Structure 1
Amino acid sequence: MGALKAHEVSRFVDRPDLEAGIILAYGPDTGLVRETAQRLARRYAGNDADSMNLVVLDGAELDADPSRLAVEAKTTSLFGDRRVIRVRGAGKSLVMPLTELRDDPGSIIILEAGNLTPKDPLRALVEAAKLGRALPCYPDNDESLGRLISETFSKAGIRADQDTVAAIRDSLGNDREITRRELEKLVLFAADTKLLTREDVLTLCADNAALVLDEVVDATGTGHAADLDTALERAIAQSVNSQQILASALGHFTTLRRWRVEVDAGKSPGAVLDNARPKPHFSRRSSIERQLRLWTDDALSAALDRLQLAVADSRKRYGLADTVSRRALLAVCTMAAER
């Protein structure tokens, strides 16, 4: 069987066990799919992008003429070397020509596809083929992302402490291509100093609007009026509008209430956050734990009613939306301060 596990993919790409065959890179992480196919193409055809032995085709082209794949695979290289066929956007139209090729492909055929189910005919064909290898490409988890960060920085001679690596991990990981670009940006930034700090990462990689919204809701939830005022001024400076602020506050207090139900059922705030999906950023953990201890379910219900009223009011009186949202947040902040 040619079905590999996700953790086996990198090892296979480094040391593929096929001289000729069909390799399918598929999954929800399109950046990792593309990177995997590119690494395989270089492994088999060399680093020369213009190599006469490498043929790159688009799935849409082959949809119109699927037989072209078999023609390319069976064509002998002018130099007698192995031909490498890379197909981007491979789809079901290739099942028939690949069925004819799977026992004797004559070349290395590298297919790039999306998130295929186990019953998808293209994936099923490659997994069942003796000369087939199906490589799942899923978004990085904490372990694989941490390994990628470590390898990238080690190669560049850059030092980063655990808090810095954690900040990078929390900012990245949904798409390997984006992750690579962001890591390259960090490496370039630290090229002279060879040192990265958490502040550098937050400045270069994080969504600053999201960060300031976190500051607003955490100041509100912990009852710190001065911090709330500062955070609101920062939000205004970054062109975050009042509707975004109120929506963020509603989302935050709704989540707090859901977590509070678990606390009332006997879990500690720490245990609730350990099992939360997605986990809040590590820098907010102590603040959120405190909020879970401060707020009761009834109080959270009252806070949500106040925020929902503000949303409706701000839409009716658009010209006063900033004032309405500020008053509502201050009122909820006062509720927290009185607890």
Structure 2
Amino acid sequence: MAALKAHEVARFLTRPDVDEGIFLAYGPDAGLVRETAQRLIRKLSGDDPEQASIVTLDGSEVDADPSILAVEAKTISLFGGKRIVRVRGAGKSLVMTLTELRDDMQGASIVLEAGNLPPRDALRALVEAAKNGRALPCYPDSDEALAALIRDTFNQQGIRVDADVVGTLREILGNDREITRRELEKLCLYAAASKELSREDVLLLCADNGMLVIDAILDATGGGHAERLELALNRALSSAVDPQRLLRMCMIHFDNLRRWRTEVDAGKAPRAVLDGQRPKPHFSRIGALEQQLRLWSDNALATASARILQTTADTRRRPGLAEPALRRTLLAICMMAAAR
């Protein structure tokens, strides 16, 4: 009988305290649930995994025919290896069959995958109460766990990374384990020959390039950098980014600056204002945003926002003029920033 804590799962997967029984991987991170089940099955398969008899069922199959789980669990392997039944999308329909099986597994193991289950869920309660039952909670990675996973992955492949690669990846990837693994595999393949990885490589391969170019437009406009603005606009428009979308993003950007500026005017330092935001702006933009907060006054930001709003209304009435109107408006605002 065991209900593991989330931080205990990794240690359990390295050295399980039982080699047969009912195992339940559950939680909101579907990618981590699948990875946990896969790692556990590899461990349960023993020293000769190719001899193991592994059967995979979908929850819908078991819902349609509950007896199939018992049949597969009790079927003797022709080759004498471990018998493992994996059930994806497990639910309450399994409870009755598992109740019959839990005290006499006859050498078999059942590995269940489920979503986020509350403590009183019947399936979770059954597994936690079973003598040979182990419930393995799978919750999204913390920043520390994600950073450790990134470092370990690159170290195992012998890839040297720049100092800011881990921080950049942590910002980009979020907390879904499956997405994280997929992106790390892509980066390892990319760096297989050179054994080196830079932040620029990470941004090129993993970041949302559309969002990156929009950020470049916003910061060039707000920072008064006309040449950067023209280059970023050309990149965005040549990639078929909708001018109306760019105007919306600019409106949001200047509204944010005005809201943050209110805190600065109240006596708070620009960096402290930015550090206190949730979600926090990407660390690569902090310097640019801090500069913009120092450049713009509340009145000037209100004027810029009003101009963007007017251009948005005009381009909705005359969509054919959206691109030149966008360029003219953002350049004018950019010049306002440059003159401050």
Whether the TM-score (by the shorter chain) exceeds 0.5 is yes
Q: 1:175 matched to which residue of 2?
A: 176
1:221 aligns with 2:222: yes
Matched, 1:274 2:275: yes
Contact 2:56-2:87 within 8 A present in 1 as well: yes
Partner SS, residue 277 of structure 1: coil
Change (3 A) 1:105 1:311: farther
User: Compared with structure 1, are the counterparts of its residues 119 and 53 closer, same or farther at alpha carbon in structure 2 (3 Å cutoff)?
Assistant: same
Shift of 1:193: 1.5
1:131 aligns with 2:132: yes
Q: How many residues align?
A: 339
Structure-2 change in CA distance of 1:335 and 1:66 (3 Å): farther
C-alpha distance in 2 between matches for 1:118 and 1:332: 55
Quick check: 1:141–1:173 contact (8 Å CA) kept in 2?
no
After superposition, residues 62-73 of structure 1 pair within 5 angstroms as: 62-73=62-73
Cα displacement string for residues 137-161 of structure 1 (whole angstroms, at most 9, x for unaligned residues): 2333321221112111111111012
Change (3 A) 1:48 1:97: same
- Report the CA distance shift for 1:329/1:148 in structure 2 as closer, same or farther (over 3 A): same
Query: What are the equivalent positions in structure 2 for 1:1-339 lying under 5 Å apart?
Result: 2-46=2-46, 51-106=51-106, 107-339=108-340
Deviation of 1:211 (Å): 0.7
Q: Does the 8 A contact of 2:226 with 2:331 survive in 1?
A: yes
Instruction: Quote how far apart the aligned CAs of 1:233 are.
Output: 1.2
Q: Any idea what the Cα deviations from partners look like across 1:249-287, whole Å, max 9, x if unmatched?
A: 223223333433444454332223333332222211111
What SS class does the counterpart of residue 35 from structure 1 fall into? helix
- Give the drift of 1:80: 4.8
Show CA shifts across 1:65-113 (max 9, x none). 1232233223344455442111111122222323333444443211112
How far does the alpha carbon of each residue in 1:268-317 deviate from its partner, in whole angstroms, 9 at most, with x for none?
Answer: 32223333332222211111112223334444344333323222222211
TM-score (structure 1 length as normaliser)? 0.90
- Counterpart of 2:217 in structure 1: which amino acid? V
Change over 3 Å in CA distance of 1:305–1:25 after alignment to 2? farther
C-alpha deviation, 1:239, in angstroms: 2.3
| Alpha-carbon distance in 2 for matches of 1:300, 1:131 | 64
The residue matched to 1:203 in structure 2 has which SS? Answer: helix
Deviates more, 1:158-167 or 1:214-223: 158-167
Work out the CA distance in 2 between the residues paired with 1:127 and 1:112.
14
1:54 match: secondary structure: strand
Shift of 1:232: 0.7
Moved more, 212-221 or 119-128: 119-128
Residue type at the aligned position of 1:225: A
The letter of the residue matching 1:151 is D
| Matched residue SS, 2:2 | coil
Residue 64 of structure 1: how far off its partner (Å): 0.6
Residue 310 of structure 1 aligns to which amino acid in structure 2? T
Distance (Å, rounded) in 2 between the aligned partners of 1:129 and 1:258: 55
Worse-matched range after superposition: 233-242 or 249-258: 249-258
Secondary structure, in 3 states, of the residue corresponding to 1:28?
Answer: coil
Root-mean-square deviation (Å): 2.5
Output the amino acid matched with 1:170.
E
Listed one character per residue, the Cα deviations across residues 27-50 of structure 1 (whole Å, up to 9, x for unaligned) are 222222111111111111259886
How far has the Cα of 1:52 moved from its partner? 4.7
Give the whole-Å Cα distance in 1 for the aligned partners of 2:85 and 2:140.
26
Secondary structure of the structure 2 residue equivalent to 1:193: coil
Q: Distance in 2 between matches of 1:330 and 1:244?
A: 17
263-272 or 35-44: bigger deviation = 263-272
Q: Distance in 2 between matches of 1:127 and 1:308?
A: 57
Q: Are the structure 2 counterparts of residues 220 and 48 from structure 1 closer, same or farther at C-alpha, using a change threshold of 3 Å? A: farther
- How far the C-alpha of 1:128 sits from its partner, in A, is 3.9
Specify whether residues 253 and 105 from structure 1 end up closer, same or farther in structure 2 by C-alpha distance, changes over 3 A only.
farther
- Unaligned segments of structure 2, at least 5 residues: none
CA, structure 1 residues 84+219, in 2 after alignment: closer, same or farther (shift >3 Å)?
same
Q: Which amino acid aligns with 1:307?
A: I
> Residue 52 of structure 2 contacts residue 84 of structure 2 at CA under 8 Å; is this kept in 1?
no
- Which letter does structure 1 place at the counterpart of 2:174? G
Question: Unaligned regions of 5+ residues in structure 1, if any?
Answer: none
Mapped partners of 1:291, 1:184: distance in 2: 37
The sequence identity of aligned pairs, in percent, is: 64
Is the CA contact (8 Å cut-off) linking 2:261 and 2:298 kept in structure 1?
yes
After TM superposition, the structure 1 stretch with the greater mean CA deviation from structure 2, 80-89 or 59-68, is 80-89
